[in-house]
Amino acid sequence: MLHLPGPLTEHPQQFREEPPVISFIRSKRTAVAMVGLAAATLALTGCAGGAGGGSSDAASGTYTFWDPYPQFDDTSDWAKLIEKCGTEAGVTVERTGYDTSDLTSKALLAGQQGNSPDLLLVDNPVVSTLAEAGLLTDTDETGADTSAIEANILAAGQLDGKTYGVPIGANTLALYYNKTVLDAAGVDPASITDWDSLTSALEAVSASGGKGITFSGIGTEEGSFQFLPWYWGSGADLTELDSDDAVSALTLWTDWVEKGYAPNSVINNTQTTSWQEFLTGEYAFSENGTWQLAGVKESGIDYGIISIPSKDGGAAPAPTGGEFLTVPVQSDDARYEVSEKIQSCLTSTDNLVATDTTLSYVAPTKDAQTEQVATDPDLEPWVTAVADAKGRTSDDLGTDYPKISEQLWKAVQNSLSGSSDPADALKEAQQAAASATE
C-alpha cells in the first residue's frame, strides 16, 4: 500500500529493489567487469522472471490480475473479493501481488513479451507511462462506465482526452496537528486558513518552545509529492516552474527552514521519517497522508486534521495518490468483455467502500464517499481534501510530469539547503525541465 511511484521511496519492502551490492571483490578482472555488469543490470533489472500473464486460451476461463498489494494473501478480504467478482463474471481469476515499484517494470516487461495480465491495478502516475507505451486499453474500447467517478480523481488516468482505467480509491495529503502543542502556544487550529495564518501559528509554537512543522523535502518523487500542495496552492502551474507564484511557494518552505519553524532534517526526510518526527509529540504540524490515520490513533497523540491551506485562503489542491484498475491490451480482444465485468464489479459502490476502508483510501465516487463517512466520521476531512486534490499527471502533462517533477524536487532541495535562493533554483529548474520536455 505505497502511495508514491518513486522506485525507492522509504518502505520496508523497498530496499529489495536496489541493485545487487558487490561488497568486496577478489580479482582485478572481476572487479573491472563487475562495474560493467552492475551498470548493465541497472538497465536491465526487471528482465528477470516475468510471470506469464493473460494466456490466449479465452475458453479456459482463467483471467490474470496483478496488483501492488503483496501484503494481502489469498485468505484476505481483498483476494476473496476479486475471486467473487471473477465467479460472478463466470471465470476464475488468478491474482498476483507485486511490490509497487516492481509492478511497473513487470508490467512493461509483460507488455514487451505480449503476455500482459487481463487486469492490472497500478499506481496512478504510472498509468500515463503505460498508456504512452501503448500497453493499456482506454475505456472506449472496453466500454467501462466512468460517469460516477469524480472528475479530479479520474483525470490522473487520462491522457489526450482518453481514460485508461478506473480508480479504485484515492488518498492525498493534509495537515495533522498536535492539539497539546497548539494549546500550549495558544493557537486555535480553526484560525489557520491561509499561509500567513499558518506561518504566524508556527511562530507562536516556536515562541512557546515547541517545534513547528515537519514534511518531506527529500530529493525523490516523494519530495515533489509533498511540495505540490503548496506549489499549486500558490496558483503556480507545473508548466512554468519559475513563475512568481512558484517562487512564493518555495520561499514559504525555505523561510520555515531558515527560521527554524521546520527542522533542517526535512531536506532528507521521507514521509515516514517526517512522520516519526511528528510522533515524538514535539511537533505542532505534520504534512502527511490518509495512510497514517491508523498510526496516529494508536500513538496517543491528541491530533486533528486540517486541509493544507492555499496562499490566499481555502484548501490547496493536493496531489492524489492511489491506484487505477486498468485493462492492458490483449492479442485477443474478446477478453475485454469479461475483464470489464470484473472491473465494474470491483468498482461498484459496495465493493469500493469495503476495499477503500481496508486500504485507508477515499472512494472515488460520491455515493461510496458518503457511505464511508457514515461509518467513519474521521474520514470527513480527507473526503474534502480528496475533492480538492489534483492528479500529478493531470493538465495533460502525462509523461512530461516525471521530468518536470525531477527538476522541481531538485529546486526544493537547492533552496532548502541554502545552495541557491528560491528564484534562482526555480529558474534553473525551469530551464532544465524545458529542455527535457521539448
Partner 1 sequence: MSIDTMERREAPPGGRPDPDPGLPGAGPRRRRGPGASQLTAWAFLAPVVTYLAVFYVWPLVRNVDLSTHDYTVRSFIDGTAPFIGLENFADVFASPTFGPALMNTLLFTGVSIAFQFTIGMALAVFFFQRFPLSSTLRALFLVPWLLPLIVSASTWSWMLNSESGVVNSVIRTLGGDQVNWLTSPQWALTSVIIANIWIGIPFNLVILYSGLQNIPGDIYEAAALDGANAWQVFRRITFPLLRPVSAITILLGLVYTLKVFDIIWIMTRGGPGDASTTFAIWSYQLGFGSTLPSFGPAAAVGNLLIVMALVCGFVYLRVQRKQDRS
Q: What is the contact surface with partner 1 in residues (CB under 8 A)?
A: 5-8, 15, 18-19, 21, 23-25, 28, 31-45, 104, 108-109, 111-112, 125-126, 129-130, 132-135, 218-221, 263-265, 267-268, 277, 399, 401-403, 405-406, 410, 413-414, 416-419, 428, 432
Which are the contacts of 419, defined by CB distance < 8 A and separation ≥ 6? none
Element (H, E) at 204: helix 195-207
DSSP structural state of residue 37: H
Rounded distance between C-alpha atoms, residue 402 and residue 54, angstroms: 29
Query: In the complex, what is the shortest distance from the CB of residue 127 to partner 1, in angstroms, rounded to a whole number?
Result: 10
Q: Which is nearer to partner 1, 94 or 400 (CB)?
A: 400
Query: In the complex, what is the shortest distance from the CB of residue 227 to partner 1, in angstroms, rounded to a whole number?
Result: 14
Rounded distance between C-alpha atoms, residue 402 and residue 268, angstroms: 20
Rounded distance between C-alpha atoms, residue 62 and residue 14, angstroms: 31
The answer to whether residues 118 and 346 touch, using CB atoms and an 8 Å cutoff, is no
Rounded distance between C-alpha atoms, residue 143 and residue 390, angstroms: 25
Q: Which is nearer to partner 1, 164 or 382 (CB)?
A: 164
Query: In the complex, what is the shortest distance from the CB of residue 286 to partner 1, in angstroms, rounded to a whole number?
Result: 14
Query: In the complex, what is the shortest distance from the CB of residue 126 to partner 1, in angstroms, rounded to a whole number?
Result: 6
Q: Which is nearer to partner 1, 78 or 225 (CB)?
A: 225
Query: In the complex, what is the shortest distance from the CB of residue 270 to partner 1, in angstroms, rounded to a whole number?
Result: 9
Query: In the complex, what is the shortest distance from the CB of residue 207 to partner 1, in angstroms, rounded to a whole number?
Result: 19
Q: Which is nearer to partner 1, 362 or 412 (CB)?
A: 412
Query: In the complex, what is the shortest distance from the CB of residue 159 to partner 1, in angstroms, rounded to a whole number?
Result: 13
Pick the closest to residue 214 from 249, 159, 253 (CA basis): 253
Q: Which is nearer to partner 1, 18 or 337 (CB)?
A: 18
Q: Which is nearer to partner 1, 7 or 281 (CB)?
A: 7
The answer to whether residues 361 and 290 touch, using CB atoms and an 8 Å cutoff, is yes
The answer to whether residues 277 and 225 touch, using CB atoms and an 8 Å cutoff, is no
Q: Which is nearer to partner 1, 236 or 262 (CB)?
A: 262
Beta bridge partners of 305: 176
Question: First and final CA of the chain: distance in angstroms?
Answer: 34
DSSP structural state of residue 13: T
Kindly state the cell numbers that stand for 303.
491530533
Q: State the burial class of residue 73 (Cβ atoms within 10 Å of its Cβ: 0-12, 13-18, 19+).
A: exposed
Query: In the complex, what is the shortest distance from the CB of residue 132 to partner 1, in angstroms, rounded to a whole number?
Result: 6
Query: In the complex, what is the shortest distance from the CB of residue 74 to partner 1, in angstroms, rounded to a whole number?
Result: 29
SS3 190: helix
Rounded distance between C-alpha atoms, residue 93 and residue 115, angstroms: 16
Q: Which is nearer to partner 1, 72 or 409 (CB)?
A: 409
Phi-psi bin for 390: left (phi > 0), alpha (psi -120 to 50), beta? beta
Q: Which is nearer to partner 1, 29 or 147 (CB)?
A: 29
